[in-house]
Structure 1
Amino acid sequence: MTTRADTVIRPLTAADVPDWSRALNTGFLRTPTPSAEEVADRGSHLDLSRTLGAFDAGRCVATFRSFPQELTAVGGAPVPADAITNVTVTATHRRRGLLTRMMAHDLAAAKERGDVVATLIAAEYPIYGRYGFGPATHLTEWTVDVPRTGLDPRRPHPEDGGRIDLVDGEDVRRTGPALYDRLRRERPGFTSRDERWWQIHTGAVRPERVPWTEPFHALYRSPEGEAEGLATYVCDDTWGDAKQPLNTATVKSLITLTPAAERALWHYLCSIDWVVRVRSGRRAPDDLLPHLLPDPRAAHVTTHADWLWVRVLDVVRALRARTYQAPGTLVLEVVDPGGYTGGRYRLETFPEGPGTCVPTTASPDLTLDVADLATLWLGDESAVRLAALGRVREERAGAARLADALLRTSRRPWCPDVF
C-alpha cells in the first residue's frame, strides 16, 4: 500500500500512452494489455495536455480525459463545454482520492479556459454529485412488438409523398453532419460531433477496441427532396423452430428534423420483412415513437435512466445562454462546495427570449446546490419536485413554482450520444 503522497497526477507524455491504455482497459474490465494498433490509434487523437494519469511508482493506476465540446442550451445557443470521459481508478487504488484530485485539476482548467459547463455520461449514479454534477437529461429505450403495432405492412412508404433510400457510409458522411447540426441547434441537451465521430460510426475508421458491424442507413427526403431524417440500424439473424423469422432491428441512431420524417422512419423500420421486434436505442423520455403507432402498447419500455450529467462552471453565462417561456424575476442562492461558481444571482426573464443574470446582494428566493441547478438548467426537472425532496429550499413562498414556470421546457432535453 502506498500513501496518497506517493501517487503523482500529471498530464501524459506520448511515452505514457501504452501504460495509460492498459490502466484504462483494466478499469473498464476489458482485456488489460492494449494492442499496438490500439495504442497507435489513441496516440493519434488524444490531446495529451487534457489527458491525465495517476502514477504510483511509475505505473498508471487511474485515468481521466477531457475534450472540447458544444452543448445546446434551451433556445438553441451552443455553450462551450468541458466533456469528461475515460475516467477509471484501478481496483487496488480506490478510496485514495485520485478521482477527486484529477477532477479538481480538470475543472480548474476548464474554468480558466472559460467553459460554461462540464459534461459526462455517468456509469454509476453516486459518484459525480459530490463534484457538482447533476443529471440534466434522461433516456428511454423501447422495444416494439411489430405484429402488435397495427401498421399495415402493405403500405411501407411515407404517406406525405417523401421517400426513403438506403445509403452507404460515404453518403452518411456527406449528408449526416449538416443534418445533425441543424437538429442540435433546435434540441437542448445535444452535444457536438466531430469528424472522427462520423468516421467511426460509418466504418471509415475502425478502432480495434470498438466492435464493428456494418449497419444499414435509411435516409428520408421530404417531397421537396430535402434530407430531413436519418436512421442507422443493425439486424440480427434469428429464426424460430418452425423456420419462422424472428429478427430484431436495433436502432443505433435516428435523427429527424420534422415529425413527418420521424413518422416515416419508424414506420419503415416496422415494415422490414423478417423483423418482428424493433429496439429504439437511446430516445428522449417524451419521444413520439409509441404514439406514432396505431397501438402504442406495442412499444414497451425496456430502459429508463439518467444520461447526460452537467456541472455548471459559470452561472451567469449559463443562465444568459438559454431562453425562457415566461417573464419573471428570481434570485438564486447557489451553493458550490467546489468553489467555482457559488453565490447569489438575480435572473430576469422575458417571454420566448434570453434572460439577464447578474450577481446580487438581494434576498434569495431559492437556495440550491450547483448540482441541482444543473438538473434545472436544461429544463428536465421541476423545482417543485426538488423542493419536495429537500434538495431545493424555498426562501419565499411560491418561488419553486415560479422557477418551474420560467425554466421548464415544452419538450424534454435529449442527448442521443455517448462519449
Structure 2
Amino acid sequence: MTSRADIDVRPIDETEFADWQRALNTGFLREPTLFQEILDARRAQFTPGRSLGAFDGGRCVATFRSFAQELTVVGGATVAADAVSNVTVTATHRRRGLLTRMMTRDLAAARERGDVVATLIAAEYPIYGRYGFGPATSTTEWTIDVPRAGLDPRWAGPEDGGRVDLVDAEDVRKLGPDLHERLRRAQPGAVGRDELWWRITTGAVRFHPTFQEPYYVVYRSAGGEVEGMAAYTADDNWGDGKQPLNTARVKWLIGVTPAAERALWRYLCSIDWVVRVKTGWRAPDDLLPHFLPDPRAAAVTTHADWLWVRILDVVRALEARTYQVAGSLVLEVADAGGPAGGRYRLEAAADGTGSCARTAEDADLVLDVADLATLWLGDESAVRLAALGRVREERAGAARQADALLRTSRRPWCPDLF
C-alpha cells in the first residue's frame, strides 16, 4: 500500500482532465470512460487551480472541484461562496486522509480569496460535519395523485387573466436567467445560475450521452410579464385495459408569484394521460399541496437535508443578513483549527440590519461553527439544538432570543444541485 506521503494531492492541469474525470465517474459509480464529445463539453467547467486530484503512481484516485458562487442570505443580499463539488475518493484509497488534504487546501484558498462561506450538496450525511459544514436548508419532493387532487378536469387555464405556453430551449435560454435572478434575490439559500448552467439544462452543452429533452412551459401574467417557468419529462406507461398510467417528472420549476406557481402546477396536473406528477426538489414549506382542493393528494416522498454551509468569516456572514427583531447576542463559536473560532457580539437594529465584532464579553450561547451555519439562514431553532445538546446556553433564555433574531417566516431553499 502506498504511504499517505507518497500520494500527491495537487491541482490538475488540462492534460490530466480525462484521468481526473475517469476517477470522478468511478467514485460516482458511473461508466468510467466518457465519449470524447461529452469529455470536451465537461472541460467547460475546468478552472485552473480549482480542480484538485490525488495521484498514486500517476493515476488519479481522488477528485475535488470548487467554483465561485453567489449565495442569497436572509434579506436579499448575496455573499461570495466557495462551492464544493465533484468530491470522490476511489474505493482502493479510502481512509488515507485524501479528502481532508483536498478540503483543507481548498478552504484555505477560499479564505484567502475572501469568500464568506463554502457550500456543498452532501451525497452522504456523516462526511462534512468534521470540516465545519452544517445543513442549512432542506428539500422536499411530493408525488401528486392527479385523479385524487380534486381539480376540475374540464378547465386547466389560469383564472387570473394570465396564460401558460409551451416554449423551446432557445426561449428558455433567453427568458430564464432574468426570471431566476428575480427568484434568487428574494429566496434565502438560492444560488446563482451562470450561462453554462442554462446551456447544460437545455441540452446546448451535452454533459450526458442519454440527455432527454424536456418540455418547457412558461407562465405570463395578465400584463404579459414572464413570472414562472418549468421543465418536465413524461414516461409512456399504460396499464391493463388501455388505461394511461403516465408520470410527469418536474426537472425544475420557478415562480416569482404564487399565481405563477399555481398556474404551472395546475397545468402539470392537467396533461392528458398523466396520473402522477413528481415535483422534483422543492422548498419544505412549498405552497404546492394547498394549491390542490385535496392537499392529501400530494404525498411527501422525499424530505432531506440539502444545502450545507461552512462559515469562513463569521463577522461578514452575520452582517450580510437581516434580522427579525432588535437585540444583541454574544456567541462563542468553536472551530477546531479553522478560521471562524472565537467570541462574537451580534447587534441587530430595529431596521433589521446587523453589526458583528469579536469581543471578550461573556458568551450567551456556545456552539460549533457547523451549528452556527445551520442557524444562519434561519431554518433551524437554537432552542431545538439546545435540547439536542448541540448548543449550550450560558445565559438563561439566550437560545429563545437567538430564535427571535435569526429564524425566518419562510424557510430558506436552494433550488439547485451542484
Q: Does 1:95 align with 2:89?
A: no
Alignment match, 2:36? 36
Partner of 1:278: 277
Distance in 1, matches of 2:36 and 2:206, equals 14
Note if contact 1:37-1:208 (Cα within 8 Å) is conserved in structure 2.
no
Q: Whole-Å Cα distance in 2 between the matches of residues 180 and 252 of structure 1?
A: 15
For 1:186 and 1:266, the matched residues in 2 are separated by 21
Task: Confirm or deny: 8 A CA contact 2:133 2:308 kept in the other structure.
Answer: yes
Report the CA distance between 1:308 and its aligned residue: 0.4
Deviation for aligned residue 1:272: 1.0
Q: In the alignment, is residue 5 of structure 1 matched against residue 5 of structure 2?
A: yes
3-state SS in 2 of match to 1:400: helix
For 2:184, the aligned partner's letter is R
Counterpart position of 2:194: 194
Could you tell me how far apart the structure 1 residues matched to 2:261 and 2:36 are? 42
Preserved contact between residue 17 and residue 42 of structure 1 (Cα < 8 Å):
no
Q: Which runs of 4+ in 1 moved over 4 A?
A: none
Encode CA deviations 1:127-167: one digit per residue, 9 max, x unaligned: 00000000000000000000111110111110111111111
- The equivalent residue for 2:349 is 350
Aligned-pair distance for 1:237? 0.7
On the 8 A contact 2:326/2:352 being kept in 1, the answer is: no
1:349 partner letter: A
Q: Which residue of 2 aligns with 1:246?
A: 245
In 1: Cα distance, 2:278 partner to 2:399 partner: 38
Query: What are the within-5 Å matches in structure 2 for residues 134-173 of structure 1?
Result: 134-173=134-173
Maintained 8 Å contact 1:325/1:350? no
Name the residue aligned to 1:213. 212
Q: 1:146 to 1:243 in 2, by over 3 A?
A: same
Post-superposition offset of 1:33: 2.3
* Cα drift, residue 30 of structure 1: 1.1
* Alignment match, 1:396: 395
SS of the residue corresponding to residue 196 of structure 1 reads: helix
Secondary structure of 2:301's counterpart equals strand
Stretches of structure 1 lacking an aligned partner (at least 5 in a row) = none
Q: Partner of 1:371 in structure 2?
A: 370
Whether contact under 8 Å (2:41, 2:205) holds in the other structure is no
Structural mapping, 1:69-108, within 5 Å: 69-108=69-108
Aligned length: 418
Whole-angstrom CA distance in 2 between matches of 1:417 and 1:171: 20
Q: For residue 405 of structure 2, what is the aligned residue in structure 1? A: 406
**Structure 2 counterparts to residues 173-322 of structure 1, below 5 A:** 173-208=173-208, 211-322=210-321
Pairwise CA RMSD:
0.9
What secondary structure sits across from 1:261 in the alignment?
helix
> Deviations 1:70-125 (Å, cap 9, x if unpaired)?
00000110100000000000101000000000000000000000000000000000
Normalised to the residue count of structure 2, the TM-score between the two structures is 0.99
Query: What secondary structure does 1:347 align onto?
Result: strand
SS class of match (1:156): coil
Q: Cα gap change, 1:44/1:162 in structure 2, threshold over 3 Å: closer, same or farther?
A: closer
The separation in 2 between residues aligned to 1:204 and 1:44, in whole angstroms, is 12
Note if contact 1:19-1:59 (Cα within 8 Å) is conserved in structure 2: yes
- Displacement of 1:273 after TM fit? 1.1
Cα deviation for residue 352 of structure 1 reads 5.0
Could you tell me which residue of structure 2 aligns to residue 61 of structure 1?
61
Could you tell me how far 1:351 is from its partner in structure 2?
3.7
Alignment TM-score, normalising by the size of structure 1: 0.98
Q: How many percent of aligned residue pairs carry the same amino acid?
A: 73
Alpha-carbon distance change, 24 to 403 in structure 1, aligned in 2, over 3 angstroms: same
**Secondary structure, counterpart of 2:241 in structure 1:** coil
User: In structure 2, what is the Cα distance between the partners aligned to 1:39 and 1:239?
Assistant: 37
Q: Which amino acid is 2:49 matched to?
A: S
Indicate the residue corresponding to 1:324 in structure 2: 323
| Change in CA separation of 1:34 and 1:338 when aligned onto 2, cut-off 3 Å | farther
